[in-house]
Amino acid sequence: MTKKLIFIDLDGTLLNSKGELSSFSCEVIKKVVAKGHIVCLASGRPWSGISHIYEELGLDTVCVTYNGMHIQNPKDPSFKEIKKTFPLEECKKILKEIDFPLLNVCFEDEEKLYIRELDELVLGYFPTSRKNLVQGDALEKMDKDLYCYVFETEREDDDKLKAVIESHPPMRYRHWSRSKNSEVFYEDGDKGSACALIASYYGVNQEDTIAFGDSPNDFTMLSYVGKAYVAIPCLIQDLLDRFEALKKSNDQDGVAHKLEELFL
């Protein structure tokens, strides 16, 4: 069989609803890798939020974090790491221009995670030590460009938030699929762009790439690859209309069962 390059999202896709990797999924992925295929994790989380999964899977491949803003190979120092950030001054301007209530705001640079109100959902995606956590109104404490910029608003304020963010091009707005949170992103700093770069790096043709995802931040990745699968339950109808849905949910190891069907 032709070697395949497989990109896998984590939350809502490979991980179950508790954010856990099952032993079955771990076993299947290791067997797929042993067959000569390449598995790369592609997540919106930072490296600190996926490192334990990467290690548990025994991977040594390039991985995508912050939705494509950071591309690295933790096992290969010779790989030229790619980092993209949001300019600090533009981020400050956005925060100052918002004239409606924010339920919460969170941003992360290379050293610290800033969050107005402690939120277990957000902290679950961006794990950090307490010494690197800054709580409260941190606008004036920020001193570095940011990797992530996350807002929580009431849904009726989403359009107003989008208008503020997108008045600062090339920054774009994207809502999370299972919460009131939304985030800033770059169109050329997304998972799809990262997948294209990694495919070139490994010398794998686009038609020999596969991806699994479930959310708006996975759209460019699913659109790029030769074969795309949507993890269920998926709340985004556009993804379900465009790509093949898995038969089993993430709580039923849907990704692993499809990989087993395809390769084992």
125 plus 242 within the same structural domain: no
- How is residue 23 written in tokens? 């032993």
Q: Are 144 and 111 in contact (CB under 8 A)?
A: yes
User: What's the pLDDT score for residue 132?
Assistant: 86
Range of the domain at 117: 88-186
CATH value at residue 194: 3.40.50.1000
pLDDT in tens, 16-55: 999 999 999 999 999 999 999 999 999 999 998 999 999 9
Asked if residue 181 and residue 92 are part of one domain, the reply reads yes
Number of domains within the chain: 2
Confidence band for 228, pLDDT divided at 50, 70 and 90: very high
- 109 in the same domain as 177: yes
206 and 251 together in one domain: yes
Residues 67 and 142 in one domain: no
Report the chain's mean pLDDT, rounded to a whole number.
93
Report the first-to-last Cα separation within the chain, whole angstroms.
11
Rounded Cα distance between 95 and 88, Å, is 11
Cα–Cα distances (Å) from 245 to 4, 12, 253, in that order, read 20, 13, 13
175 and 219 belong to one structural domain: no
Taking only the tens place, the pLDDT of each residue in 56-76 is: 999 999 999 999 999 999 999
How far CA 248 is from CA of 14, 21, 74, 233, 254, in Å, comes to 11, 15, 31, 9, 4
Residues 92 and 176 in one domain: yes
- Sign of the CA dihedral running 38, 74, 55, 190: negative
**Do the Cβ atoms of 14 and 48 come closer than 8 Å?**
no
Q: Do 65 and 130 share a structural domain?
A: no
Minimum mean pLDDT range among 39-43, 72-76, 84-88, 137-141: 137-141
Question: Cα(170)–Cα(36) distance, rounded to whole angstroms?
Answer: 39
Query: Both 104 and 180 in a single domain?
Result: yes
194 and 180 share one domain: no
| Rounded Cα distance, 190 and 9, in Å | 13
Q: Could you say which of 151, 186, 221 is where a domain stops?
A: 186
Are 73 and 93 part of one and the same domain? no
243 and 175 in a common domain: no
* The Cα angle at residue 27 between residues 255 and 242, in degrees rounded to 5: 10
- Amino acid 75: pLDDT: 96
What size, in residues, is the chain?
264
* Residues 112 and 171 sit within 8 Å (Cβ to Cβ): no
Q: Does the pLDDT of residue 14 top 80, yes or no?
A: yes
Last residue of a domain, one of 186, 220, 247: 186
Query: What pLDDT does 124 receive?
Result: 83
Query: For 167-201, how does the pLDDT look when each residue is reduced to its tens digit (9 = 90+)?
Result: 999 999 998 877 889 999 998 899 999 999 999 99
Among 123, 157, 186, residue at a domain's last position: 186
pLDDT at 84: 94
Q: What is the pLDDT of residue 70?
A: 96
pLDDT at 52: 95
pLDDT above 70 coverage of the chain, percent:
99
Q: Quick one: pLDDT at residue 179?
A: 82
Q: What is the mean pLDDT of residues 230-241?
A: 94
pLDDT band at 111 (very low <50, low <70, confident <90, very high): confident
CATH number of the domain to which 137 belongs: 3.30.1240.10
The Cα diameter of the chain in Å comes to 57
